[in-house]
Amino acid sequence: MRELSMHLMDIIENSIKADADLVIITIEENKAENNLTITVKDDGKGMDKEFLQRVFDPFVTSRTTRRVGLGLPLLKAAAERCGGKVEITSAPNLGTQVKACFQHQHIDRAPMGNLAETLTAVIVGNPKVDFVYTHITPKGRYVLDTRIIKETLDGINISHPKVVEWIKKNIAEGLKKINGGVDE
Amino acid sequence: MIKSLEELKRIRDEVKKATKVREGMKGTRIVVGMGTCGISAGAREVMSAVLDELRKRDIDDVVVTQTGCIGFCKYEPLMDVIKPGEEKVTYVNLTPEKARRVVVEHIVNGRVVKEYIVPNL
Ligand SMILES: Nc1ncnc2c1ncn2[C@@H]1O[C@H](COP(=O)(O)OP(=O)(O)OP(=O)(O)O)[C@@H](O)[C@H]1O
Ligand SMILES: [Mg+2]
């Protein structure tokens, strides 16, 4: 995958497949410390210890439509290519946390890609799931919580074009303020 | 986020007040495949194009959602168009441009874009 935001979308997809109701996405960036960390935490069905140990093996998957699972192996490769790593913790019935660390300034780090567009697609495309997205840079912190959005909307569909536009703009402007998600 | 919640409230009230010009789309759904294969083949761009085309045409009662990989990886990006009372139509190997055309032809004009479908899928 060309961009980290595509990997992000893909690990969120795993959470959704695991029947998560709430997905907590945290991105922490610090160029001076050469750190970029993406964490996705869910309250889905989780994995047991034995499964977890083999989860980076492409032939380990609970899919029935295809015999290989590529999402996590690809993420691991993307992290290791730039001196990073992926850590997963999980417990059956409690949930899963996937934490991917990258060297921010490494020449082989994939670009972030368009986070506003990616998260908007994920939020709108999964109206029954809630998301809390936090982005932290040395300049500050941006938080988007779909539970608050849905409460405010009071029954209006989240995929209403005007709402979609608001979400996208909110993320783009929020990130701009803290200089987040940009690759120069 | 908090500051512009006021703006969101305004949008909500506007939407609630707006009298429906067109009721025809009610119940129409678009489902975009977003598995690993779909995402790497450009499903996010397809989804964004669909949302943008609906916005441009002021269509606000079509629901656009995602689904994981359904196993037709070589046909990704793909999406289903589901209209009430009609059979589901699966469009394959989409690009943002093709997806926009599906919105115009199928959603608005009610004509299936035959070039983008695979028979018997
Ligand atoms: N958040 C999660 N919660 C529970 N199980 C998970 C989670 N993420 C991954 N898994 C398990 O790990 C397996 C491997 O995940 P991976 O993303 O590598 O492949 P996949 O999702 O099966 O297929 P693909 O990503 O190629 O569509 C999954 O099939 C699932 O069983
Ligand atoms: Mg996956």
Residue A54 sits in a domain whose CATH number is 3.30.565.10
Q: Tell me the residue range of the domain where B65 lies.
A: 5-116
Q: Report how far ligand 2's centroid is from the alpha carbon of B114 (Å).
A: 31
Domain count along chain B: 1
Residues A140 and A76: their CA atoms lie apart, in Å, by 28
Residue A99 within any structural domain of the chain: yes
> What pLDDT, on a 0 to 100 scale, did the predictor assign at position B3?
66
Residue A155 within any structural domain of the chain: yes
Q: Tell me the residue range of the domain where A107 lies.
A: 4-178
Residue B121 within any structural domain of the chain: no
In chain A, % of residues over pLDDT 90: 88
Task: Identify all chain B residues contacting A127, using CB atoms and an 8 Å cutoff.
Answer: 63, 65
Task: Identify all chain B residues contacting A63, using CB atoms and an 8 Å cutoff.
Answer: 69
Residues A55-114: pLDDT tens digits?
998 887 777 766 677 899 999 999 999 999 999 999 999 999 999 999 999 999 999 999
3-state secondary structure chain A: CCCHHHHHHHHHHHHHHCCCCEEEEEEEEECCCCEEEEEEEECCCCCCHHHHHCCCCCCCCCCCCCCCCCHHHHHHHHHHCCCCEEEEEEECCCEEEEEEEEECCCCCCCCCCCHHHHHHHHHHHCCCCEEEEEEEECCEEEEEEHHHHHHHHCCCCCCCHHHHHHHHHHHHHHHHHCCCCCCC
Q: What is the pTM of this model?
A: 0.93
Write phi, then psi, for B36 (nearest 5 degrees): -55, -45
Residue B61 within any structural domain of the chain: yes
Q: Whose CA is nearest to atom 25 of ligand 1?
A: A71
Residue A88 within any structural domain of the chain: yes
Q: Which atom of ligand 1 is nearest to the CA of B36?
A: 27
Q: Report how far ligand 1's centroid is from the alpha carbon of A22 (Å).
A: 17
Q: Per-residue pLDDT for A159 more than 70?
A: yes
> What pLDDT, on a 0 to 100 scale, did the predictor assign at position A8?
97
Q: What is the CATH number of the domain that holds B11?
A: 3.40.30.10
CB contact under 8 A, A17 and B70: no
Prediction ipTM score: 0.88
> What pLDDT, on a 0 to 100 scale, did the predictor assign at position B70?
77
Which residue positions in chain B have pLDDT lower than 50? none
